Structure 1
Amino acid sequence: MMDKDETHRRRAVPAKKDLEALSRFRYGLRKFLRYSEDVTQAAGITPLQYALLLHVRGMPGRSWATVGELAERLQAAPNGTVALISRCERAGLVVRRAGEEDRRLVEVHLTPKGERCLLKLANLHLNEIKALSRILAEF
C-alpha cells in the first residue's frame, strides 16, 4: 500500500503530452532566441544590447529606465548592467542623465540612433514572436 507522499509523487510525474509540449516550447523559444541573435548581430549590435534598448524604451509609463530596473529586466548583476550601459553609450545608443526629481538617480535614455536601431529590430522580432505565441497557446 502507498502512503500519501508516494501517491503525490506519482501524480506529479508529467504526462507524455506535457513533455512533448515542453519540448515544443523549448524548441520554439530557442528558435526565437537564435533568430534574435542573428538579426541583432546583422544590425551591428549584440543580443544583450538589443535587450537593453528594448527594456529602456519598453518601461511602462515612460521611455527611460534606471540601472536597477534594467538589471532586474535583464536578470543581471548591477555592475554587469552598468558595463553594458557603458558599451551602449560608447556605441551612441544610449545616454545617462541625472534624474529630474532626484538628482542621485541615473536615468538611461535612448539616443536617436538607439531609437532607430530598436524600432528596426523590434519590427523584425514582432513577426517572429507570432510563431512562438502559437506554441504558447498550447498551454
Structure 2
Amino acid sequence: MKSRATGRDPTDAEYQALASFRYALRRYLAAVGRNARSAGLTAQQHQALLSIRAGYPGREVISVTELADHLLIKNHSALELAERLRDLGLIQCDRCDEDRRKVMLSITPKGETTLRKLAAGSLRELALISGQMRSLVAGLSQLDP
C-alpha cells in the first residue's frame, strides 16, 4: 500500500527501520512496565505519576483534564486513574479554588518516593537502549519522506 506522505510503496529499508524502531520502543516499555509492576503499579499509573510530577514544567498541580490529555485517555478514565492513585496515597486530589468543577492533582511525598525509584529504573533502561535509539532515529532521518 502506498504511503500518503510519499505516494510510493515503502522500501525494504523503511520496513526494517519501522520494525526496529517499534521493537526498541516495545522493549523499553516492557521493561518500564515490569518496573512499575514490581512497585505495585500499572504502567499507566506510573505514566500518570510522571505526568503529574513533570508533564507541565514549572507547575506543581495539573487538572484531571490535563492528565487525560497527557495520557491520551478520556476525562472519566483519568478521574478513575487519579482516584486509584489517591487511594494508594501517591497523589492528592483537590477542587480548584477558582472553578470548583475542576479537580487538581498533585504528587504526595509517598508518590515522590515511589516515582524516584521508578525513574531510576527507567533511566537505567533508557541508557541501555540509547545508542540503539540514536542509530534508529539517525537512520529514520535518512529515509526519503
What TM-score do you get using the length of structure 2 for normalisation? 0.82
Max radius of gyration: which structure?
Answer: 1
Shift of 1:9: 9.5
- Aligned match of 2:137: 136
Alignment of 1:78-89 (within 5 A): 78-89=75-86
How far 1:77 moved relative to its partner?
Answer: 0.7
Q: CA deviation at 1:74?
A: 0.7
Correspondence for 1:48 among 23, 44, 47: 44
Aligned partner of 1:122 among 119, 127, 131: 119
Could you tell me the TM-score, scaled by structure 1's length?
Answer: 0.85
| The 10-residue stretch of structure 1 (123-132 or 88-97) with the greater mean CA deviation from structure 2 | 123-132
Partner of residue 34 from structure 1, selected from 18, 30, 37: 30
**Cα 1:137–1:124 shift into 2, 3 Å:** farther
Gaps spanning 5+ residues in structure 1: where?
1-5
Q: Distance in 2 between matches of 1:108 and 1:137?
A: 38
Q: What percent of counterpart residues are identical? A: 33
Deviation at residue 29 of structure 1 after TM alignment? 0.8
